[in-house]
């Protein structure tokens, strides 16, 4: 049975202008995750914030964002994706204003939690709206642009953060990193109300309150240890939480099966959970992203603490990566929905080449960073990522019909967030374990640490290469 939807938008809708609106909001969210890290020292100094609260500027956003992705995706199915998308933009933009004007750390942390809620409301709708705008053969181009957005955000966040903080606009120090979201949010909201299709939701789907609670508890049990471990180390209380996630996840699936048997509302429709394309695409996407953000986190430490580069210089060094993703977006548009399996395989090979090339570049690095030595490998890695992400999105979301695309999008991105959290914990753990007590400027120690990170990233690339060779990988309509 086919689950692939056809484009539902009215002929008068400018599809690519609508995608530009979705990408703008998506970029605003993604860059907000990376830009904050650059500003943390300034925030701690100005707000006199204790360490246990300053880390919640990131953790509070991460938790609210990850926990609400799945239910927010389902709410889009229920109440209409344009409505939820616009609502999320409003919440995110207003919370950004409060962040920028926050008088103290408590207000800032609370506003960051609300910001994460707004991001969670709007983010699942971005991918879910693609099938409503494009027929299947054109979706590869759109999904390729989402990969480009992710790549750009991962490396431009530190650059933009460094520029805004160094500029010290009107003496506001770190506050412009949040206030810059205000005009962007207004632009995105205006575009959403004028350019996105107005297709309503299906209220008959209902709300699965028990499923929402069980999913939230299971994700909390996984995320709390993984998000906290990099800053406070692995504590004894973390193991019971991780172990508890297994029975909680089992209870969630059992409840969804019970709801299906009763014909009652489901948070995650079990036809998606049983779908090979959905599981393959979403899980491999999570594995892939367990390496990318965490890799650039450790690269920034290597460049800044190891070699003394500024955040701006560090960001410019990695610029070839998003350029590679940009080049890949043109290729994925040409492929459309063809040769999915081989594109994932080829993307994995290019990723592996990028990571292994960086290992070669780092091993032979002298007393100063050689941009020319690293640039080609960043480009290969970005080109590989861009060619991999688009087909994985296509595979996963091809399993959803028009009533479930929001739920599917929310689930794919929630699973990806768990993968990112695992990656930060694992790669960060490897990096700092190898680094030991080395001081900033100890190039040999930082070189060894980044090589440890590259080893994990290369193993992830190997999994990406092996999966299409071992597992059927095709769109649901081809199953």
| DSSP sequence for 211-270 | HHHHHHHHHHHHHHHHHHHHHH---TTHHHHHHHHHHHHHHHHHHHHHHHHHT---SS-H
Structure tokens at 188: 């995105």
Supply the pLDDT for residue 476: 65
Strand, coil or helix: 162: helix
Check: CB of residue 440 under 8 Å from CB of residue 306. Answer: yes
DSSP at 205: G
Q: How far apart are alpha carbons 29 and 79 in whole angstroms?
A: 22
* Residue written as token pair 């199915």: 77
Supply the pLDDT for residue 88: 96
To 10 degrees, what angle do helices 139-167 and 292-301 make? 30
- Residues 303-307 have a mean pLDDT of 88
Residue in 1, 3, 2 with CA at minimum distance from that of residue 405: 3
Structure tokens at 329: 């977006």
Q: How far apart are alpha carbons 65 and 77 in whole angstroms?
A: 18
Q: Which residues of 204-230 are buried (b: 16+ CB within 10 A; e: fewer)?
A: ebeebebbbebbbbbbbbbbbbbbbbb
Phi, psi of 434 (to 5 degrees): -70, -40
Find the radius of gyration of the CA atoms of the chain. Answer: 21
- From the number of C-beta atoms within 10 Å of its C-beta (0-12, 13-18, 19+), residue 155 rates as buried
To 10 degrees, what angle do helices 81-101 and 105-128 make? 160
Confidence of residue 248 (pLDDT cuts 50, 70, 90): very high
Q: How far apart are alpha carbons 211 and 455 in whole angstroms?
A: 38
Q: What is the pLDDT of residues 352-405, one digit of tens each?
A: 999 999 999 999 898 888 889 999 999 999 999 988 988 898 888 888 777 777
Supply the pLDDT for residue 232: 73
DSSP at 304: I
Residue in 152, 472, 141 with CA at minimum distance from that of residue 335: 141
* Residue written as token pair 């606009």: 169
Mean pLDDT of the chain: 85
Q: What is the pLDDT of residues 259-301, one digit of tens each?
A: 989 988 888 888 888 888 889 999 999 999 899 888 888 888 8
Confidence of residue 9 (pLDDT cuts 50, 70, 90): very low
DSSP at 314: H
Comparison of pLDDT for 361 and 34, the residue scoring more: 361
Supply the pLDDT for residue 386: 85
Lowest mean pLDDT among 55-59, 68-72, 333-337: 333-337
Confidence of residue 346 (pLDDT cuts 50, 70, 90): very high
- Residues 302-324 have a mean pLDDT of 84
Comparison of pLDDT for 158 and 399, the residue scoring more: 399
Supply the pLDDT for residue 3: 42
Confidence of residue 8 (pLDDT cuts 50, 70, 90): very low
Q: For residue 5, is pLDDT > 60?
A: no
> How many CB atoms within 10 Å of residue 428?
19
Confidence of residue 112 (pLDDT cuts 50, 70, 90): very high
Q: What is the pLDDT of residues 134-152, one digit of tens each?
A: 877 777 777 777 777 876 7
Check: CB of residue 383 under 8 Å from CB of residue 353. Answer: no
Structure tokens at 50: 């204790």
Torsion of CA 321, 68, 82, 326, to 10 degrees: 0
Q: Where are the alpha helices (DSSP H) in 104-138?
A: 105-128, 130-133
Domain extents in the chain = 15-199+265-478, 208-263
Torsion of CA 428, 450, 286, 88, to 10 degrees: 70
Range among 23-27, 194-198, 373-377, 389-393 with highest mean pLDDT value: 373-377
Percentage of residues in the chain having pLDDT higher than 70 = 93
CA distances from 130 to 120, 135, 215, 340, 458 (A): 17, 9, 26, 18, 31
Percentage of residues in the chain having pLDDT higher than 90 = 34
Residue in 120, 88, 95, 112 with CA at minimum distance from that of residue 40: 112
Range among 223-227, 351-355, 397-401, 421-425 with highest mean pLDDT value: 351-355
Q: How far apart are alpha carbons 137 and 86 in whole angstroms?
A: 27
Structure tokens at 73: 């995706």
Q: How far apart are alpha carbons 443 and 458 in whole angstroms?
A: 22
Supply the pLDDT for residue 151: 67
Per DSSP, the chain holds a count of helices (H) and strands (E) of 20, 0
Residue in 347, 89, 296 with CA at minimum distance from that of residue 193: 89
Check: CB of residue 95 under 8 Å from CB of residue 111. Answer: yes
Comparison of pLDDT for 203 and 79, the residue scoring more: 79
- Residues 218-235 have a mean pLDDT of 82
Q: Where are the alpha helices (DSSP H) in 364-479?
A: 371-397, 405-435, 443-470
Q: How far apart are alpha carbons 303 and 316 in whole angstroms?
A: 11
The pTM for the full model equals 0.82
Check: CB of residue 31 under 8 Å from CB of residue 153. Answer: yes
Helix (H), strand (E) at residue 394 = helix 371-397
CA distances from 239 to 232, 243, 264, 286 (A): 14, 6, 34, 22
| Domain 15-199+265-478: CATH architecture, name and number where available | Up-down Bundle (1.20)
């Amino acid at each position: 049975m086919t689950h692939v939807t056809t484009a539902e938008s009215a002929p008068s809708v400018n599809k690519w202008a609508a995608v530009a609106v979705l990408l703008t909001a998506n970029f605003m969210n993604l860059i907000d995750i990376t830009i904050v890290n650059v500003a943390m020292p300034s925030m701690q100094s100005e707000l006199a914030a204790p360490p246990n609260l300053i880390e919640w500027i990131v953790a509070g956003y991460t938790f609210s964002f990850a926990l609400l992705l799945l239910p927010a995706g389902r709410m889009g199915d229920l109440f209409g994706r344009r409505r939820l998308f616009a609502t999320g933009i409003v919440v995110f933009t207003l919370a950004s204003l409060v962040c920028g004007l926050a008088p103290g750390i408590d207000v800032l942390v609370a506003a960051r939690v609300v910001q994460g809620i707004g991001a969670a409301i709007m983010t699942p709708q971005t991918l879910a709206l693609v099938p409503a705008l494009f027929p299947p053969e054109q979706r590869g181009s759109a999904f390729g642009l989402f990969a480009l957005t992710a790549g750009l955000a991962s490396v431009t966040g530190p650059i933009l953060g460094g520029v805004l903080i160094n500029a010290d606009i009107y003496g506001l120090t770190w506050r412009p990193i949040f206030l810059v979201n205000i005009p962007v949010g207004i632009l995105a909201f205006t575009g959403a109300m004028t350019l996105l299709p107005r297709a309503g939701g299906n209220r008959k789907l209902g709300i699965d309150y028990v499923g929402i609670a069980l999913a939230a508890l299971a994700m909390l049990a996984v995320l709390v240890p993984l998000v906290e471990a990099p800053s406070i180390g692995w504590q004894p209380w973390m193991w019971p939480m991780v172990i508890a996630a297994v029975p909680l996840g089992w209870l969630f699936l059992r409840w969804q099966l019970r709801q299906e048997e009763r014909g009652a509302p489901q948070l995650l429709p079990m036809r998606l959970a049983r779908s090979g394309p959905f599981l393959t695409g979403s899980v491999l996407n999570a594995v892939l992203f367990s390496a990318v953000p965490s890799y650039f986190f450790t690269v920034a430490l290597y460049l800044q603490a190891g070699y003394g580069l500024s955040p701006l210089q560090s960001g410019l060094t990695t610029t070839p990566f998003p350029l590679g993703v940009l080049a890949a977006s043109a290729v994925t548009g040409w492929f459309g929905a063809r040769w999915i399996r081989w594109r994932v395989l080829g993307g994995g090979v290019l990723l592996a080449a990028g990571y292994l090339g960086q290992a070669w570049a780092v091993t032979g690095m002298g007393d100063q960073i050689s941009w020319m030595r690293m640039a080609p490998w960043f480009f290969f890695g970005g080109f590989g990522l861009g060619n991999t992400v688009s087909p994985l999105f296509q595979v996963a979301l091809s399993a959803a019909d028009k009533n479930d695309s929001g739920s599917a999008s929310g689930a794919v991105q929630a699973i990806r967030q768990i993968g990112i959290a695992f990656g930060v914990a694992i790669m960060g753990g490897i990096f700092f374990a190898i680094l030991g007590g080395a001081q900033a400027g100890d190039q040999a120690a930082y070189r060894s640490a980044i090589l440890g990170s590259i080893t994990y990233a290369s193993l992830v690339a190997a999994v990406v290469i092996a999966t299409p060779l071992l597992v059927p990988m095709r769109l649901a309509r081809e199953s």
